[in-house]
Amino acid sequence: MSRIPLAGVIGAPVGHSRSPRLHGTWLRDYGIAGHYVPLHVEAWDLERVLRVMPRMGFVGANVTIPHKEAVLALADEVTDMAARIGAVNTLTFKDGRILADNTDGYGFMANLRQGAPDWRADAGPALVLGAGGAARAVIVALQDAGVPEIRLTNRTRARAEELAAEFGCAVQDWEKRAEGLGDLGLLVNTTALGMEGQAPLEMPLDGLPAGALVTDIVYTPLDTPLLCDARARGLQAVDGLGMLLHQAVPGFERWFGRRPEVTDSLRAAVLG
């Protein structure tokens, strides 16, 4: 008798993750016999857990904070995308091997294309706020899409300069982040500013051209002050929930054998 496939999300903490609700909705909608569970795993136990998971019936897992970088060294095979980004969010267990990938950039671009189908990568430079792991995935995705120039700004300038040197971007002072917006095609917030429980993001949008697109990877709240401000100015804005939903598509397909769709009903289910 074949095993029922298992998958999950590994992190510490992991109780806040919406991934179980997301994958659980797909499993129910498609009538697939499988389960997706949250797995709280501490750093000291990470390798042992990963090695035993395939023997327990796990076909794969998502990886979240604080393990996204550590998993790189534990995987038997790492995709070019995960290596470029320097982090892993999706694992597949196959023939006793751990295959590591990063689908965050894919999720970011798929969300943009779904939320703003008329946006063009060559419309102008992009300004990325933040210099953490999410910023790395966004930069790689934008470069692959053909954005002509990427500018970085971060509260700690040294981190922005580190990323800029690695990816060939320009650095803008955080204090001057609202300057020189007139030629932008895209503005992306990858920081936690504006998230529930975090400090607000102060980002004046007066200088953005009428055709610019504004997106925020924060999705709690769904309509962040940045997005509300953009819409009030008549600018196109895309929320961050779709990035979470779309990044899950490749993993679900690999683990459960069906490519799922990101729909309005899925968004509603995940938001609860």
Is 68 among the catalytic positions? yes
Residues for the chain: how many in total? 272
- From the candidates 68, 136, 151, 254, give the one annotated as an active-site residue: 68
C-alpha span between 13 and 66 (Å, rounded):
8
SS (H, E, C) the chain: CCCCCEEEEEECCCCCCCHHHHHHHHHHHCCCCCEEEEEECCHHHHHHHHHHHHHHCEEEEEECCCCCCHHHHHCCEECHHHHHHCCCCEEEEECCEEEEECCHHHHHHHHHHHHCCCCCHHHCCEEEECCCHHHHHHHHHHHHHCCCCEEEECCCHHHHHHHHHHHCCEECCHHHCCCCCCCCCEEEECCCCCCCCCCCCCCCCCCCCCCCEEEECCCCCCCCHHHHHHHHCCCEEECCHHHHHHHHHHHHHHHHCCCCCCCHHHHHHHHC
* Angle between the N-to-C axes of helices 104-115 and 241-256, in degrees from 0 to 180, rounded to the nearest 10: 120
CA distance 43 to 93: 20
Active site residues: 68
